[in-house]
Amino acid sequence: MAHPTQLRFQDVASPVMEELLHFHDHALMILFLISTLVLYIIIGMVSTKLTNKYIFDSQDMEIVWTILPAVILVLIALPSLRILYLMDEINDPHLTIKAMRHQCYWCYEYTDYEDLGIDSNMIPTQDLTAGQFRLLETEHRKVVPIDSPVRVLVSAEDVLHSWAVPSLGLNMDAVPGRVKHTAFIASRPGVFYGQCSEICGANHCFMPIVVVAVPLEHFESWSSLMLEDA
């Protein structure tokens, strides 16, 4: 969960998000080195009378200025492709959940269970209890087991939406008439909040997503209780 005046990412809760955070720091360091080099050259061009001889007419500088960007692109592309591969579909997920977006709520269907499904509506501000977050809490939370590959099938009933949970490194568009998939592994127990990241209508800011990651035995107890009440 983000906190006031926070500048960096939310606490990492999945291996993919951890890789994304490392890639962010890696790319940021490359950007810092490029900015430092360009600033150094600009200062040198302004402060010396030998600029034309040693910079503008330098064959060595032209060679470096051509090869260096290619090396930088490789340094960025290789870890980026690795993360894209890690974010690909899990071949053998332990759990598959279909997330269908309606105009005012998310509907989650646990496809591995015959009658297990929940509607996740936002809790109105006047109904919140102490400790709950405004515009982020839902009546029913999506519960998943930790350390288990989970596949999420995302779609929408009306317009374009997005199923996004920053702590888990998830952001998948929900497209009407299409089923898209994403996957994640929750690496620690916790409650993780997200919101629709598409400007999809008047109620765009009232589309919270809450994922609760619990140990496997607690998930089994929760699913058994939900099936009994169904």
Tens of pLDDT, residues 117-151: 888 888 888 888 888 888 889 988 999 999 999 99
In this prediction the pTM is 0.82
Task: Please report, for the chain, the start and end positions of each structural domain, with discontinuous segments joined by +.
Answer: 15-86, 95-229
Tens of pLDDT, residues 21-51: 999 999 999 999 999 988 887 787 777 655 5
Q: Which two tokens stand for residue 100?
A: 């269908």
Q: Which two tokens stand for residue 176?
A: 């009407």
Q: Which of 7, 4, 222, 10 is nearest to 95 (CA)?
A: 222
Instruction: Find out whether 219 and 144 touch, Cβ atoms under 8 Å.
Output: yes
In this model, does residue 158 exceed pLDDT 70? yes
Q: Which two tokens stand for residue 162?
A: 């997005």
Percent of the chain with pLDDT over 90: 36
* Dist. CA 163–CA 155, nearest whole Å: 9
* Dist. CA 117–CA 98, nearest whole Å: 9
**Domain 95-229: top CATH class:** mainly beta
Backbone angles phi, psi at 98, to 5 degrees: -100, 125
Kindly list the distances between the CA atom of residue 97 and the CA atoms of 93, 144, 161, 209, 221, in Å, as whole numbers in the listed order: 10, 9, 17, 14, 18
